[in-house]
Amino acid sequence: MAPIGTEQSIAMSRLIIDGEVEAPVTLSFADLAGIPAEFQIADVSQIDPKRRGGAVKLAGLLARVKPRKSARYLTLHAAKDDFHASIPLDAVIERAIVIYRLDGQPLPVASGGPVRFFIPDFAACHASEVDECANVKFVDRIELTAERGQDNRPHDEKEHAELHEREQG
């Protein structure tokens, strides 16, 4: 039997990927760890020194679910803080990663778990819809859609500052 806390952490480490896909899935920590090595990133600090943990490339997740040709947007859902961001799939398909582990364990909520969607050098995507707030923590569902999906990211600097103030309070 897993120690108390570990079991809860593992139970929280579920990622649903659905929408415009041929094979919707609910992935556990073990499922994410089982994605082929070519899509795994053992140490994300090699990509961004400010980040820690292990990740899987978005391309590896998409290979598993087989997006339909109609899939043009990726909507990230974080139920914990009711945050949603919808971004063009083409802009991030080769860049984005999903951080899901820290020190060999499921990514804790304190670090943005169950998974944290991260776009290294998001400005290089050259898409106005891909900004710093497209790096979403607490992600529990990734939905692929034909049109832009639910998105409640801040629209200006004031809203952005208020969001971060609420997170710290």
Report the distance separating Cα 127 and Cα 18, nearest Å. 23
| CATH number given to 6-168 | 3.90.420.10
Q: How confident is the model at residue 55 (pLDDT cuts 50, 70, 90)?
A: very high
pLDDT in tens, 83-117: 999 999 998 988 899 999 999 999 999 999 999 99
Instruction: Report d(CA 22, CA 68) in Å as an integer.
Output: 6
Task: Tell me if residue 132 falls in helix, strand or coil.
Answer: helix
Residue in the structure block whose two tokens are 């978005």: 58
DSSP 133: G
Lowest mean per-residue pLDDT among 12-26, 43-57, 112-126, 140-154: 112-126
This prediction has a pTM of 0.82
Q: How far, in Å, are 6, 37, 109, 129 from residue 125 at the CA level?
A: 37, 25, 27, 9
135 pLDDT higher than 90: no
pLDDT at 165: 58
Task: Give strand pairing partners of 88.
Answer: 73
